[in-house]
Amino acid sequence: MPEELYEIEATIPPNPIEEYLRMDRMPHIWCPGCGIGTTVNCFVRALQTSGLDLDKVAVVSGIGCTGRVAGYMNLDSFHTTHGRAIPFATGLKLANPGLKVVVYSGDGDLTAIGGNHFIHAARRNMDLTVILINNMIYGMTGGQAAPTTPVGATASTTPHGNFEETFNLPFLAESCGAVYVARWTAHHVRHLTKSIKEALGKKGFSFIEILAPCPTLYSRRNKLGDGLDQMEFYRDQSEIKNGADTKTVALDFQGKIIVGKFVDKERPTYLEAMNAHYQKKLGERYVPSDEMRKVFHV
Amino acid sequence: MHADPIGVLTGAHFIDGDHACSEGAIAAGCRFVAGYPITPSTEVVERIADRFPFVGGVFIQMEDEIASSIAIQGAAWGGKKVMTVTSGPGFSLMMEHIGLAAMTETPCVFVDVQRAGPSTGLPTMPAQGDMMQARWGSHGDYQIIALCPNSPQECFDLTIHAFNLSERYRVPVMIMMDECVGHMIERVVIPSADKIEVVDRKTFEGPKENYRAFDAGRDLVPMMVKAGDGYRIHVTGLTHDEKGYPDMSVSAQGKLVQRLMDKIRLNADDIVLYKEENVEGADVVVVTYGITSRTAIPAIEQARAKGLKVGHLRLIVAWPFPEKRIRELAGRVKSIVVPELNMGQMVYEVERCAAGKCNVVSVPHAGGTVHQPKEIFAAIEKSLRGK
Amino acid sequence: MAQVAEQTKKARGSVVIAAERCKGCGFCVEFCPPEVLELSAEYNSKGYHTPFLAKRDQCTGCDICGMVCPDFAIYGYIIKKKTKEA
């Protein structure tokens, strides 16, 4: 046996991301070429270098293909009802502000049925990291139109083509008060990992939109090839414009994709504002919860 | 365990049912409330908003009832005792999340200060039209517990009891108040904290490898943990196994749903609660709950004054329904009269349990105000005149 | 064997492939910067063609394949080479 080969084989490190996943539940349910797993890879790698205590990171998902992410993470994870991950996460965070609460859900879940909660949590600057996987379709239920399905695209509930305008999600998030707004695609693995790490480290409502392929439904129905074709499309059509005006980053059907970090600003989070306000108004009489004291030193 | 004195306003108060409910929640240890304004329940959260900053609680007015009903569940998994408050239209919006709480066995309290419905109805006027909805409102098979206070004092006492039941059985508990009880002002005596018993959820403290989040012992109630304690739990509304992992199999469904049902049904003897007066030897029993229990009293007294043997059974816990007692009474009495501020809801439970062994008479009311005692008296007399 | 050893000795990195988990999407092959991966003619028990390290000596261990894989079926690592003194 050649000596070098033996030595090298003996030091193969285990896959470092496996401890972040529920490997007893693999393989996952996502289709071949689906981009969700790729985004989870980036999320895990961001967690690895974030310095966060993993016992204090909680993931909250809604319903849909992306909603299944909670079930595969080896963290305290909550698979809630359709559209309601954000209010659940709000309650979790307010009960224990020492937790880092991540909402990981899909475009339909967070902006259609969940739209109201999305805008209010951003308005309040609730300290949540919201990772939205945008595959421009309702995948889990068979490919219905979402508020992000581009004009002209076909979906099962728009069989003659979609004529509704879409949300420009970064613009929506910024206008509601999000303090961190970025968009990447599943192709931009390094940028995405760095962006997630920044969002995790930032206080307040951080929002990352990630375009990801849905080969089985969106791509197939619209004759866009498979997952790899979509990933190549992201590579070819994306333009990184950090700091771009979010009004200008709307997406259309197979058009240019502006990616980048668009907003990164500071303002008091909901809890910072709450504690400061009560301290000022009530002085010595204010009794914060024990968990609040630990985090905000009130 | 005793109540934390910081939250207990010991003494005699002259307050309405809504405010008494707020105090009951605080005394019970509730420290997170998410709510949305809706008449006639709003005063509950208004008082909570006022008091919470002094007792370590967090109140947030969410953007709607749907958000409120799930925000409390997030907080429950963050370790808090939680409550939300609403009336009919909001209660309807909360149904999906009541099912989620039942499925994930999340301890939480839902207060419904009932008003006349359906739909927008009479927002400022009383009714008892949500009783069946409390039991069956969400989809699928599940169990809940529902209590019916009939006075501001009971609004205080039964709110504490609701929290204790919710923690003990890890089940959503409804407090079915009505506008009348909620807005009437009466004397409410709040005892000292050491006289108030509070129950906390059973928590698991062992090593992570030994923890099975939804594995239950003989009482069918699994031990709970909270996010942040290192157990790396997974909680889902999907049908799940003992680990909490989704399990899309018929056998997992059968096992889980059966346990969720049995958890309340087989423990019903410990949960069922009612008050009886003159029921022994009665020919007629009047079954009531909430405000109607008070309007029935003059009618019952009038009937007794006329020599009729009338007893009174007041439901304090409406769900689970006291099936055993009603079955037993039906075999001994001539009739059961059920006045309700609705077009007949709990009367169907009485009929079901009476199984034809006695006459069952409904005294319905579309709502908006309380019964006239003479309506109930007439029904008592009529019920004795045969089927 | 000796040829593999020679190539591996030269390479900065290598990959580990969990073939049974792979769904043959082709991301790793396409996005590998030094283009050292190819889809194999072999397939796993689910019928997917899995990748293999075709150019062993050129793998840089950058782990782009690991980051881009949606199925956690491949990862790259930098080979720890033991020195002669060890």
pLDDT tens figures, B97-151: 999 999 999 999 999 999 999 999 999 999 999 999 999 999 999 999 999 999 9
3-class DSSP assignment, residue C12? coil
How far is B311 from B299, CA to CA, in rounded Å? 11
Chains touching chain B, criterion 3+ CB pairs below 8 Å: A
| B286 membership: H or E segment, kind and range | strand B284-289
Which chain A residues are closer than 8 Å to B66 by Cβ? 84, 87
Which chain B residues are closer than 8 Å to A116 by Cβ? 63-64, 67
User: What number of H helices and E strands is found in chain C?
Assistant: 3, 4
How far is B164 from B271, CA to CA, in rounded Å? 11
Contact of A177 with chain C, judged by CB distance below 8 Å, is answered with no
The nearest CA of chain C is from the CA of A162 a distance in Å of 28
| A294 and A209 belong to one structural domain | no
Q: Give CA A87 to chain center in angstroms.
A: 15
Q: Read off φ and ψ for residue C39, nearest 5 degrees.
A: -80, 135
How would you list the strands of the sheet with B234-236, edge to edge? A238-240, A257-264, A180-185, A206-211, A129-134, A100-106, A57-61, A76-79, B234-236
A32–C48: do the CB atoms touch at under 8 Å?
Answer: yes
Q: What angle do CA B68, B71, B76 make, to 5 degrees?
A: 125
Query: How many domains is chain A partitioned into structurally?
Result: 2
Tell me which of B160, B195, B230 is where a domain ends: B195
| A238 and A293 belong to one structural domain | no
**C14, C25, C64 member nearest A228 (Cβ):** C25
Residue A153 in contact with residue A234, Cβ under 8 Å? no
pLDDT at A1: 43
Token output for A101: 């609460």
| B36 and B134 belong to one structural domain | yes
| A262 and A289 belong to one structural domain | no
Tell me which of B195, B211, B242 is where a domain ends: B195
pLDDT at C8: 61
3-class DSSP assignment, residue B334? coil
Establish if A218 belongs to a structural domain. yes
In A227-286, the residues whose Cβ lies within 8 Å of chain B are 274, 278, 282, 285-286
How far is B71 from B84, CA to CA, in rounded Å? 9
3-class secondary structure per residue, chain A:
CCHHHHHHHHCCCCCHHHHHECHHHCCCCCCCCCCHHHHHHHHHHHHHHHCCCHHHEEEEECCCCHHHHHHHECCEEEECCCCCHHHHHHHHHHHCCCCEEEEEEEHHHHHHHCHHHHHHHHHHCCCCEEEEEECCCECCCCCECCCCCCCCCCECCECCCCCCCCCCHHHHHHHHCCCEEEEEECCCHHHHHHHHHHHHHCCCCEEEEEECCCHHHHHHHCCCCCHHHHHHHHHHHEEECCCCCHHHCCCCCCCCEEEEEEEECCCCCHHHHHHHHHHHHHHHHCCCCHHHHHHHCC
| B145 and B41 belong to one structural domain | yes
Residue B240 in contact with residue B252, Cβ under 8 Å? yes
Q: Is the pLDDT of residue B40 over 60?
A: yes
Picking from A58, A84, A77, A68, the residue whose alpha carbon sits closest to that of residue B234 is A77
Block residue for tokens 């079915």: B176
Show contacts of C3-6: CB within 8 Å, 24+ apart.
C4/A5, C4/C56, C5/A2, C5/A4, C5/A5, C6/C57
Block residue for tokens 């129905």: A221
Contact of A58 with chain B, judged by CB distance below 8 Å, is answered with yes
Q: Is the pLDDT of residue B387 over 60?
A: no
pLDDT in tens, B208-254: 999 999 999 999 999 999 999 999 999 999 999 999 999 999 999 99
* Confidence check on the interface: ipTM exceeds 0.95, yes or no: yes
What band does C86 get if pLDDT is binned at 50, 70 and 90? very low
A81–B96: do the CB atoms touch at under 8 Å?
Answer: yes
How far is B322 from B148, CA to CA, in rounded Å? 14
Establish if A46 belongs to a structural domain. yes
The torsion of the CA quartet B291, B293, B299, B302, rounded to 10 degrees, works out to -130
**A25, A92, A120 member nearest B74 (Cβ):** A92
pLDDT at C12: 86
Best residue of A56, A94, A294 to probe chain B, by most B CBs closer than 10 Å: A94
What band does B160 get if pLDDT is binned at 50, 70 and 90? very high
| A133 and A213 belong to one structural domain | yes
A76–B237: do the CB atoms touch at under 8 Å?
Answer: no
| A129 and A160 belong to one structural domain | yes
How far is C74 from C86, CA to CA, in rounded Å? 30
CATH number, position B69: 3.40.50.970
| B253 membership: H or E segment, kind and range | helix B250-265
pLDDT in tens, C36-54: 999 999 899 999 999 999 9
pLDDT at B54: 98
Contacts of B175 (CB under 8 A, 6+ apart): B21, B109, B110, B111, B112, B146, B147, B149, B155, B158, B159, B162
Q: Give CA A252 to chain center in angstroms.
A: 21
Token output for A15: 């896959």
Handedness of CA B184, B185, B187, B192 (dihedral sign): positive
| A241 and A274 belong to one structural domain | no
Q: Residue B327 is which amino acid?
A: R
Residue B128 in contact with residue B318, Cβ under 8 Å? no
Token output for B101: 């709480």
Mean pLDDT of B161-171: 98
The nearest CA of chain B is from the CA of A18 a distance in Å of 14
Handedness of CA A219, A223, A224, A226 (dihedral sign): positive
How far is A67 from A131, CA to CA, in rounded Å? 11
pLDDT in tens, B249-300: 999 999 999 999 999 999 999 999 999 999 999 999 999 999 999 999 999 9
**C2, C48, C77 member nearest A2 (Cβ):** C2
Token output for A165: 């305008």
Contact of A41 with chain C, judged by CB distance below 8 Å, is answered with yes
Residue A106 in contact with residue A62, Cβ under 8 Å? yes
Q: Is the pLDDT of residue C4 over 80?
A: no
In A6-35, the residues whose Cβ lies within 8 Å of chain C are 7-8, 11-13, 15-18, 21, 26-28, 30-35
Domain, as residue range, for A297? 268-298
How far is A5 from C12, CA to CA, in rounded Å? 14
Per-residue confidence in pLDDT tens, chain A, 298 aa: 444 444 445 567 889 899 999 999 999 999 999 999 999 999 999 999 999 999 999 999 999 999 999 999 999 999 999 999 999 999 999 999 999 999 999 999 999 999 999 999 999 999 999 999 999 999 999 999 999 999 999 999 999 999 999 999 999 999 999 999 999 999 999 999 999 999 999 999 999 999 999 999 999 999 999 999 999 999 999 999 999 999 999 999 999 999 999 999 999 999 999 999 999 999 999 999 999 999 998 7
Establish if A190 belongs to a structural domain. yes
Picking from A258, A66, A45, the residue whose alpha carbon sits closest to that of residue C64 is A45
Domain, as residue range, for B153? 5-195
Contacts of B206 (CB under 8 A, 6+ apart): none
Picking from B48, B41, B43, the residue whose alpha carbon sits closest to that of residue B27 is B48
Establish if A17 belongs to a structural domain. no
Q: Which residue of C has its CA nearest to A8?
A: C81
How far is A109 from A87, CA to CA, in rounded Å? 13
A95–B232: do the CB atoms touch at under 8 Å?
Answer: no
Establish if C14 belongs to a structural domain. yes
Q: How many residues does chain C have?
A: 86
Q: What is the pTM of this model?
A: 0.96
Which chain B residues are closer than 8 Å to A117 by Cβ? 63, 67
Mean pLDDT of B53-66: 98
Contact of C68 with chain A, judged by CB distance below 8 Å, is answered with yes
Establish if A168 belongs to a structural domain. yes
Q: Is the pLDDT of residue B345 over 90?
A: yes
pLDDT at C7: 61
Establish if A45 belongs to a structural domain. yes
A84–B227: do the CB atoms touch at under 8 Å?
Answer: no
How far is A90 from B80, CA to CA, in rounded Å? 13
A5–C8: do the CB atoms touch at under 8 Å?
Answer: yes
| A133 and A205 belong to one structural domain | yes
Establish if A14 belongs to a structural domain. no
| A236 and A285 belong to one structural domain | no
| B161 and B298 belong to one structural domain | no
pLDDT at C80: 78
